[in-house]
């Protein structure tokens, strides 16, 4: 899921509540286009509303397209909002009075800030502006200081955190693909204090990633617990890991979204706060509120957090590199790196460290098979150089395995294997794109990467499923008179249910969906014709 698309799709009232959190505001800033970020930084400490011409004056005529796109991005997220001139003047006077200055003096406004009378003015959303100012000015204190000394024994190494996150997320993907029967669970320290597992089976079904086999048209194979991977699930497996995270978390927070705006704001703020912590920076479990503890336990199960127990029995949670990818900003540029370093407790010189800016798990985590090199031969043989069990499980959705070596998968594309994948709703174009997206360096310069004889055959197998369509129909014959037959055929044609007719023998075929209406019409026609 695109984070900014999710925020933009929320009702305006709920979106306004989100901007009361510095973490949500910072995450939105990091996901803005670079030019929109530059505009926000220019306007961040502008106290008074301003006319649109003030921002338009920054743009050269040759750059009008990117300028409008940046403004549309800001307006779509309600970062830049319209302000009524009368309300803006009243707010400015109140601000001056609070500062103890005479009205109209002491506060500098942008040139032309008054604007034409009655014309709407623009301003940064007040809560968004205040929280982002807080991040800029107090970023080093927002994260709550250093790791407590008592947590030293409970804080895993960065390698252990990476291993935990990888195992948990890989277990989730393998469960989706049916390679394991159980989804990832909670570690023993949380089970021992009574936390219950998140129902991942129901969560994946609600997200549309898994479904009962008859609902996807496929065979029972594939999917955990007798479920099958849907077309959306297959596309999910091909996405970068940060998008996979948001696809799952979007469904997870939907309960809070349906409950109330305050609960959604609280849940999302806690989630994004974790994304701005340094990977490996421990926090005391007891410092979290009960709703946050329950949510943190579920995030441990998904691999975004790791939990450890100190010698005194206290629990500590530690963000993994998966959590650091929550806030996005891969294309944010230097401004995002500076903000991330400030939020992590460092300065600009530390922006390349191990915090959120340093990236411990952005898009480079990749989707299933990001470590694979695939060769497809014209004889339909497939060679995948990979050690990932997820990659192997994805390939087995549409490639028949023939051999499996420690770092090599060997298989062949066959009609039955392709038809099995197509029956799950996966398209031929998606299958070919998957094979072409990760070519072996030895064939990367080949055009096309997947031989045309193979890609064309896969598309032909898909077309073979669409040659004929079966629909329930009814044959009408033995009509008592030619007039009755012609009336019935005319009625069927007008209702759009006529499939075939034989005028010579007075018989026709119509869709079963219109059978009840046809029976009633024939009875009325017989009475009219006195048959």
* pLDDT given for residue 155 in this prediction: 80
In this structure, are strands 498-502 and 373-376 parallel, antiparallel, or unpaired? unpaired
What's the whole-model pTM score?
0.66
**For residue 471, which of 452, 498, 490, 494 has the smallest C-alpha distance?**
498
* pLDDT given for residue 330 in this prediction: 40
At 457, list the tokens. Answer: 């055959």
* pLDDT given for residue 498 in this prediction: 93
Model confidence pLDDT, tens digit, residues 327-382: 654 433 333 333 333 333 333 333 333 333 333 333 344 454 456 899 999 999 99
Say which residue the tokens 């979290």 belong to.
Answer: 288
The domain limits of the chain are 13-142, 149-364, 368-464, 473-529
Is the pLDDT confidence value at 433 over 70?
yes
User: 206-220, 401-415, 488-502, 511-525: lowest mean pLDDT where?
Assistant: 206-220
Which of the pair, 362 or 161, is modelled with greater confidence? 161
Is the pLDDT confidence value at 144 over 60?
no
Edge to edge, what strands does the sheet with 315-319 contain? Answer: 283-284, 315-319, 305-309
Model confidence pLDDT, tens digit, residues 210-240: 888 765 544 444 555 568 888 888 888 877 7
Percent of the chain scoring above 70 in pLDDT = 78
Please compute the mean of the pLDDT values over residues 247-270 and round it to a whole number.
Answer: 79
**Count of other CB atoms within 10 angstroms of residue 241:** 23
Model confidence pLDDT, tens digit, residues 385-408: 999 999 999 899 899 999 999 999
Which residues have C-beta within 8 Å of that of residue 214, sequence separation ≥ 6?
none
Q: Check if the beta carbon of residue 371 is closer than 8 Å to that of residue 295.
A: no
DSSP β-bridge partners for residue 403: 410
Tell me if residue 58 falls in helix, strand or coil. Answer: coil
Which residues have C-beta within 8 Å of that of residue 378, sequence separation ≥ 6?
451, 453, 454
Please compute the mean of the pLDDT values over residues 14-43 and round it to a whole number.
Answer: 91
Is the pLDDT confidence value at 260 over 70?
no
Percent of the chain scoring above 90 in pLDDT = 37
* pLDDT given for residue 500 in this prediction: 93
Is the pLDDT confidence value at 140 over 90?
no
User: 12-16, 307-311, 327-331, 415-419: lowest mean pLDDT where?
Assistant: 327-331
Mean pLDDT of the chain: 81
Model confidence pLDDT, tens digit, residues 82-130: 887 766 566 656 656 665 655 444 444 554 444 455 457 899 999 999 9
- What is the C-alpha end-to-end distance of the chain, expressed in Å? 65
Tell me if residue 442 falls in helix, strand or coil. Answer: coil
At 49, list the tokens. Answer: 């509303």
* pLDDT given for residue 257 in this prediction: 67
- CATH classification for the domain delimited by 473-529, as one of 3.50.50.60, 3.40.50.620, 3.40.50.10490, 3.30.70.2610: 3.30.70.2610
């Amino acid at each position: 899921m695109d984070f900014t698309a999710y925020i933009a799709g929320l009702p305006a009232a709920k979106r306004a509540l989100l901007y009361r959190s510095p973490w949500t505001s910072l995450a939105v800033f990091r996901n803005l286009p670079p030019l929109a970020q530059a505009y926000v930084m220019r306007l961040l400490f502008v106290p008074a509303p301003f006319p649109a011409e003030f921002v338009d004056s920054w743009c050269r005529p040759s750059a009008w397209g990117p300028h409008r796109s940046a403004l549309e991005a800001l307006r779509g997220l309600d970062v830049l909002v319209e302000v009524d001139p009368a309300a803006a003047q009243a707010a400015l006077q109140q601000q001056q009075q609070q500062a103890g200055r005479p009205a109209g003096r002491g506060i500098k406004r942008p040139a032309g800030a008054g604007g034409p009378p009655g014309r709407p003015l623009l301003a940064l959303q007040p809560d968004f502006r205040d929280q982002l100012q807080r991040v800029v000015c107090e970023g080093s204190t927002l994260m709550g200081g250093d790791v407590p000394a008592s947590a030293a024994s409970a804080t895993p190494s960065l390698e252990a955190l990476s291993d935990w996150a990888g195992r948990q997320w890989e277990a989730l993907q393998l469960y989706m693909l049916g390679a394991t029967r159980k989804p990832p669970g909670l570690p023993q320290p949380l089970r021992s204090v009574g936390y219950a597992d998140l129902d991942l089976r129901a969560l994946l079904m609600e997200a549309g990633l898994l479904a009962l086999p008859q609902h996807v048209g496929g065979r029972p194979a594939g999917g955990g617990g007798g479920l099958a991977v849907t077309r959306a699930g297959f596309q999910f497996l091909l996405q970068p890991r940060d998008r996979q995270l948001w696809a799952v978390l979007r469904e997870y927070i939907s309960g809070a979204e349906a409950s109330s705006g305050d609960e959604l704001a609280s849940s999302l703020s806690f989630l994004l706060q974790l994304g701005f912590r340094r990977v490996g920076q421990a926090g005391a479990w007891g410092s979290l509120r009960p709703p946050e503890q329950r949510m943190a336990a579920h995030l441990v199960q998904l691999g975004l957090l790791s939990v450890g127990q100190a010698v005194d029995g206290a629990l500590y949670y530690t963000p993994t590199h998966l959590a650091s990818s929550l806030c996005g900003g891969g294309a944010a540029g230097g401004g995002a790196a500076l903000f991330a370093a400030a939020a992590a407790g460092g300065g600009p010189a530390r922006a390349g460290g191990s915090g959120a800016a340093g990236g411990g798990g952005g898009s480079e985590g990749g989707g299933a098979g990001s470590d694979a090199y695939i060769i497809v031969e014209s004889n339909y043989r497939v060679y995948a150089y990979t050690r990932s069990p997820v990659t192997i499980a994805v390939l087995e959705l549409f490639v028949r395995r023939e051999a499996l070596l420690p770092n090599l998968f060997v298989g062949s594309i066959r009609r039955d294997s392709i038809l099995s994948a197509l029956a799950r709703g996966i398209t031929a174009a998606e299958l070919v794109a998957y094979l072409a997206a990760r070519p072996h360096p030895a064939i990367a310069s080949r055009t096309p990467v997947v031989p045309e004889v193979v890609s064309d055959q896969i598309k032909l197998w898909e077309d073979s499923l669409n040659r004929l369509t079966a629909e329930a129909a009814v044959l009408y014959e033995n009509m008592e008179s030619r007039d009755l037959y012609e009336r019935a055929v005319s009625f069927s044609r007008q209702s759009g249910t006529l499939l075939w007719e034989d005028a010579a023998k007075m018989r026709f075929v119509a869709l079963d969906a219109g059978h009840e209406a046809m029976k009633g019409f024939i009875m009325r026609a017989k009475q009219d014709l006195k048959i």
